[in-house]
């Protein structure tokens, strides 16, 4: 069994206002969790996105040697969420597996952990761009997208109006000021009318998943001014759009925005 380094995913606290308990999307109350998931109490559903199992081993196969602990770290977060909420349904919003061969590379103990988490509850794999085919070993219901009540679950957010959409893919992050310093954290990006027009983009849960600043142009077709629900050590904190900061390069005067797949591009 692979041993996991201590404090792998421990976050340092940063003081902010009291976290708000729920995000309301089309009158449905969704509880954001500081581990990067949503819990939907009305349906006893746990929603996660962009787990990217075996991203580390995928990079290693291409000569980029990373510690091989990312799948275990992500599974431990998922296990903590299952213990906390005891969901009847788990919805994974795509890119659960980093590539089509990821499940074959999984450590046997990691695979057994995932099977144990799936046992005894409904499980839904929404397919993503990294995993366009259903997993063979971890068989469960599979959809490109699905609608439950007022909410629609898909991997890639749809441009234009999409009331009730819960999506992933963009790996939202936010840069915010706290106690005289700027912190960059994963976040939920939400916007629109809470009664009938709101939508939400989930943060990536994968330990090696990168992040795209919510001020990037990629979010413009989705939101006019999204609220970033920022993941802290003690909770999830709603930060208004006008309090968010762009990513800035180390050298002055150059605005740098992370692109979708880990590359960076200059803006302006």
The structure tokens 């761009």 sit at 129
Q: Per mean pLDDT, which of 60-64, 117-121, 209-213 is the most reliable? A: 117-121
**pLDDT the model gives residue 227:** 95
Burial of 158 from C-beta contacts in 10 A (0-12 / 13-18 / 19+): middle
Which two three-digit tokens encode residue 264? Answer: 């960076």
- The pLDDT of residue 201 is above 80: yes
What pTM does this model have? 0.83
- Ramachandran angles phi, psi of 196, nearest 5°: -145, -10
Question: CA-to-CA distance for 183 and 161, rounded, in angstroms?
Answer: 31
Give 177's pLDDT tier (boundaries 50, 70, 90). Answer: confident
- Residue range 23-242 forms a domain whose CATH class is alpha beta
Q: How many beta carbons lie within 10 A of that of residue 202, not counting itself? A: 30
Domain ranges for the chain: 23-242
- Tell me what the mean pLDDT of segment 235-244 comes to: 93
> Which residues share a beta bridge with 45?
40, 89
Give the separation between CA 87 and CA 80, rounded to whole angstroms.
12
188, pLDDT greater than 80: yes
pLDDT of residue 13: 37
């Amino acid at each position: 069994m692979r041993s996991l380094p201590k404090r792998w995913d421990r976050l340092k606290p940063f003081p902010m206002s009291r976290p708000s308990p729920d995000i309301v999307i089309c009158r449905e109350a969704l509880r954001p969790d500081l581990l990067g998931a949503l819990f939907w109490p009305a349906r006893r559903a746990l929603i996660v996105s962009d787990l990217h199992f075996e991203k580390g081993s995928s990079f290693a196969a291409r000569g980029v040697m990373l510690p091989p602990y990312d799948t275990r770290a992500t599974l431990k977060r998922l296990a903590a969420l299952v213990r906390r909420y005891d969901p009847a349904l788990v919805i994974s919003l795509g890119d659960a597996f980093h590539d089509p061969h990821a499940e074959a590379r999984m450590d046997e103990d990691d695979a057994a952990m995932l099977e144990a988490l799936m046992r005894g509850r409904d499980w839904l794999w929404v397919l993503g761009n990294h995993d366009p085919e259903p997993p063979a070993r971890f068989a469960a219901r599979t959809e490109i997208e699905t609608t439950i009540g007022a909410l629609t679950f898909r991997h890639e957010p749809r441009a234009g109006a999409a009331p009730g959409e819960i999506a992933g893919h963009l790996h939202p992050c936010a840069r915010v000021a706290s106690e005289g310093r700027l912190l960059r954290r994963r976040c939920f990006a939400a916007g629109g009318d809470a009664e009938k027009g709101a939508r939400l983009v989930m943060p990536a849960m994968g330990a090696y998943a990168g992040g795209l600043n919510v001020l990037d142009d990629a979010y413009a077709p989705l939101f006019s001014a999204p609220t970033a629900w920022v993941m802290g050590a003690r909770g999830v904190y709603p930060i208004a759009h006008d309090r968010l900061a762009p990513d800035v390069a180390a050298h002055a005067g150059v605005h740098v925005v992370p692109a979708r797949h880990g590359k960076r591009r200059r803006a302006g």
